[in-house]
Amino acid sequence: MPTWSGTRKKLETDYLCPALRGRVRYFATTYRESHDQGMARAAILVDGTEVLKGDCVTYFRVLGERARELDEQGLSWREVSLQAKRSVLKDGLFDPWSFYVAFQIFDNQSIETSLADEHPIVRIFALLDRRLGKRRLAALEETMEQELDWVRPFYLLRMEAEGLKLQKEKEVC
């Protein structure tokens, strides 16, 4: 796995669209002094504000709560685990290690495949990617209506940065 500084450089320099350079920053850290040397945080910052963030403590606490709720329904441990992870991710909570995994997936597939990927963070990387042209970006509007609440703001950010208006806004005017 590449270093975080190399990963961040690729995300912010090689992939990030020119309209968002300097505005979007990626952050990840591992707290090596923690009891298990595995505590971590990851975030995407827009104009210096954390818009999306994941940390181990919150993620595993909420994941445990969801798993206990699902366990009471008599599901198998495997099904409990899968459903709890999906539920937590849908709410915008993620394990910081999945941030690295999402980058590896994103870095090794086409922009089209990334836009349709099941992992929301991969889709966010794709929405901010310079390879996504303005026409294709505008054409995603209908798809974005079905997108997760915490992914859609990245689409709106990109649209605003590119100077594009949503079709629904144009119809209202």
Helices (H), 10-151: 56-71, 77-90, 96-107, 111-115, 120-127, 134-139, 141-144
Pull the structure tokens for residue 119: 């992992």
Q: pLDDT band at residue 170, thresholds of 50, 70 and 90?
A: low
Rounded to whole angstroms, the Cα distance separating 88 from 104 reads 21
What would the pLDDT profile of 90-117 be if each residue is shown by its tens digit?
Answer: 898 988 888 889 999 999 999 999 999 9
- What percent of the chain is predicted at pLDDT more than 90? 69
Tell me what pLDDT residue 19 has: 96
Task: Supply the pTM of this predicted model.
Answer: 0.88
- 3-class DSSP assignment, residue 39: strand
- Averaged pLDDT for residues 27-37: 68
Tell me what pLDDT residue 169 has: 59
Q: Are 37 and 13 in contact (CB under 8 A)?
A: no
Rounded to whole angstroms, the Cα distance separating 129 from 162 reads 12
- Averaged pLDDT for residues 39-51: 91
Rounded to whole angstroms, the Cα distance separating 121 from 92 reads 10
Q: Which residue has the tokens 């539920």?
A: 87
Q: pLDDT band at residue 158, thresholds of 50, 70 and 90?
A: very high
Q: Does the pLDDT value for residue 74 go beyond 90?
A: no
- Averaged pLDDT for residues 121-139: 96
Rounded to whole angstroms, the Cα distance separating 29 from 24 reads 17
Rounded to whole angstroms, the Cα distance separating 139 from 145 reads 12
Tell me what pLDDT residue 171 has: 52
Q: Which residue has the tokens 């690295």?
A: 100
- Residue by residue, DSSP assigns 2-68 as --HHHHHHIIIIIIB-GGGTTTEEEEEEEETTSTTS-EEEEEEEETTEEEEEEEHHHHHHHHHHHHH
Pull the structure tokens for residue 98: 């999945």
Rounded to whole angstroms, the Cα distance separating 38 from 173 reads 52
What would the pLDDT profile of 77-92 be if each residue is shown by its tens digit?
Answer: 999 999 999 999 889 8
The residue that leads in pLDDT, 112 or 168, is 112
Tell me what pLDDT residue 96 has: 85
